[in-house]
Structure 1
Amino acid sequence: MDMRVHSLLELEEQYANLLAALDRGEALRRALALLADGSEVAWTARPDADGVLTLDQVTGDRTGVLRALRVPPSTGLTGKVFRAGRAEWVDDYFGSQEITHDFDRHIATENVRRVLAVPLLRDGETLGVLAIGPREDGTFGDREIEHASAIAAQAALAISLAERARLSREIAVHEERRRMAADLHDSVGALLFAIGSGMADLAESTQADPELRARLEGLRRQAVDATTALRESLRTLRSSPAALALGVALRADCEAFADRTGLPAELVILDEDPPELAPSRSDTLLTAVREALLNVEKHAHASAVTVSVQHSNPWLTVAVHDDGVGLGPDYTPGLGLTSSAEALGRLGGSVRVVSDPDGGTIWRARLPC
């Protein structure tokens, strides 16, 4: 095979793997393919906000009874594993006294004899469950359990990456919408204002022709109506879902910092489900982050900055990390940092500023949410 063709095929495979890593459904389908052969049923279960699981990916089934099956918390082996956060298995599903038997009919319909389920764990959080149901009698050995657990760990990482990629895409979309809204305001909004003003001036200058004056006044009112409609459309275009509003604002702050200083400023969101903050709490947090970035600009002599966001219930943590000179031995916080720390403290939060042992400074704010 021509080496160039071989290289292209390798690139195509790498690209397919990258797309799979950024797509939750494809990542789970690949995990199931690694877990089960054609004689076995395998599924993944995804929780909703109330902890009720839904079997969202099923492979190897014959009847369809497992597809989209809802599993309440702690029911069946799948629900038990999700609640416990550890691998569990039953070598005799129907005779086991360790699980509830809410789904015996479904399992019997698929002729499954035994089930192994492992949690999809990432950073201490259970993202779902991965399970396999062989149709032949037997017992699960250590190698099968370790194999399933390894696949689940890879799948959990892929899910986490996919959700972060989804969030980044959504933030980018809303940033583009806000940019478009600003452009429309400056162009179309200004044009409609000029048309309305021109119509008003013409109407004033045509006192001798009542009919023409009336027609011009009607056009002016239409221009006013169009301006009102545009304003409402721009308000909708600029708005972001509450869960994305903080990320959109922080991305804008990073871009503003980079524009002012010429230094790269990266936003890293470490959670797939950022919390929704009340506007007053979000404003206080954003003001504090901007003050931290201003201090980096004035004092750090840094070459790069990273702003990270992490939600670990009940805390939201935002950190500003630079690679500058760090804190001096006689460091004392200035008025701006002190004021922002006090404002966060009134909301039950806190601020800490420390030198990074590897160089630079870490400003970290925590706020209950």
Structure 2
Amino acid sequence: MSDHDLPGQSLSDLAGQYAELVTALDRGEALRRAAVAMAGPGEAVWAASPTAFGTLRLEHVVGNRTGLLRGLEVPPGAGLTGKVHRAGGPDWVDDYFRSSKITHTFDAYIRAEGLRRVLAVPLLHNGSAIGVLALGRRVDGAFGDRDVDRVSALAAQAALAVSVAERARLAREIAVHEERERLAAALHDSVGALLFAIGSGVQDLADTAEGDGALRERLERLRRQAADASTALRESLRTLRASPSSLALGVALRADCSAFSDRTGIPAELVVVDQTPPELPSSRSETLVTAVREALLNVEKHARASAVVVTVGQFGSSITVAVHDDGVGLGEHHRPGLGLTSTAEALARLGGSLTVQSDSDGGTAWRARLPC
């Protein structure tokens, strides 16, 4: 390599390092990397994160043979994963199906994966469990201290990466909001002032054109257009200055639709009935976002749909979010599973409701309502 090539190579290395840093500052990527690092031949690993409903969801699964574990909801204390999350310390079972230490809620899933024993470690941040990493092996045997130490070390690294990613996410949101505030102020001082000056100048000209009716009419039309532009600018500035919480629901739902499309290849569109969804306390907004994620997960798993539309809007004193797909609809003997049941219970605790039914035009209509 010649000296002439070095600057370009250095820029390439720098770009690669920057991309690596941006990737690392992502919660999901941090958990995925921990799961990949932990998994060995013949092993299955999963990373579970808490939901707004108090359950755990298996978000990242490596080495699985079926699709049963991915997206699985774990009630508080259920199975080894739920037990470890509640206790806040590592635990394992060397004979999963005969163990009396755990509930056997997920025996069918573990058996389908061919797993014989499982070791789970909590992800701890400031003394609180923020998730769980679990390792399952398909051969008989017993976990030893080296296994526990290795998985615990990876869990500690993952917990640190997740906490850093969350801080980075918050910093990005604050930076975006500050930039929007700066842009709004600049537009107000420049474009807003210019439109006011144009409107005032046109009005002055109209006052001096008393003898020319046609000219006065044209000037009045220009004045009204300047006034309309000023109104539109004020509305745009109001949206730019809106607090992050008032935009959080729409931004989160749009991101979830994009993630769903990227993951499945199925187009998912967000339709906001109002200009922006109403501002909600973070607990209510998180409950709705988590509920929609559960609905999209069900579409991914069961609907065989070719398109999805998510609609959000305020109707009276309530906000309604609907998820419509054009898939196969609900079966004749459909019964709500754990995810739907948890969603309905979480909404009910906040005074809301959930309905799921086959649409008369085909597919499934899912609607969540929550008081504003």
TM-score > 0.5, shorter chain as reference: yes
Hey, what does 1:322 align to over in structure 2? none
Q: CA deviation at 1:18?
A: 3.3
How many residue pairs get matched? 247
**What residue in structure 1 maps to residue 231 of structure 2?**
228
- 1:19, distance to aligned residue in structure 2 (A): 3.8
- C-alpha deviation, 1:129, in angstroms: 0.5
Q: Which amino acid aligns with 2:232?
A: A
Q: Give 1:2 deviation, angstroms.
A: 9.4
* Matching of residue 214 in structure 1 with residue 244 in structure 2: no
The equivalent of 2:205 in structure 1 is 202
Secondary structure of the 2:115 match is coil
CA contact (8 A) 2:42 2:138 kept: yes
CA distance in 2, matches of 1:228, 1:108: 64
Q: 1:2 to 1:218 in 2, by over 3 A?
A: closer
User: How far, CA to CA, are the matches of 1:2 and 1:143 in structure 2?
Assistant: 48
1:243–1:193 CA distance, 2 compared to 1 (3 A): closer
Q: Which TM-score applies when normalising by structure 2?
A: 0.61
Q: Does 1:122 align with 2:115?
A: no
Paired letter, 1:180: L
* Structure 2: distance between partners of 1:209 and 1:16: 65
Contact (CA 8 Å) 2:38, 2:135: kept in 1 or not?
yes
Question: Does 2:114 match 1:111?
Answer: yes
| Deviation for aligned residue 1:33 | 2.1
**Higher Cα radius of gyration:** 1
Identity %: 64
Change (3 A) 1:213 1:10: closer
Q: C-alpha separation between the residues in 1 aligned to 2:74 and 2:2?
A: 52
Shift of 1:62: 1.4
> Runs of 5+ in structure 1 lacking a partner?
246-274, 278-369
| 2-structure distance, mates of 1:174, 1:193 | 27
Q: Deviations over 1:6-40 (max 9, x none)?
A: x9698788656534531222222221122111311
1:164 aligns with 2:167: yes
Amino acid at match of 1:82: H
Does the alignment pair 1:146 with 2:149?
yes
Where does the alignment leave 5 or more consecutive residues of structure 2 unmatched?
A: 249-280, 284-372
CA RMSD of aligned residues (A): 2.8
C-alpha separation in 2, matches of 1:143 and 1:122: 23
Cα deviation code 1:255-305 (max 9, x no counterpart): xxxxxxxxxxxxxxxxxxxx979xxxxxxxxxxxxxxxxxxxxxxxxxxxx
TM-score of the two chains, using structure 1 as the length reference = 0.62
* Greater displacement, 14-23 / 170-179: 14-23
Aligned position for 1:187: 190
Partner of 2:297: none
Match of 2:93 in 1: 90
Give, in whole Å, the separation in 2 of the partners of 1:31 and 1:151.
6
- Larger CA deviation: 207-216 vs 59-68: 207-216
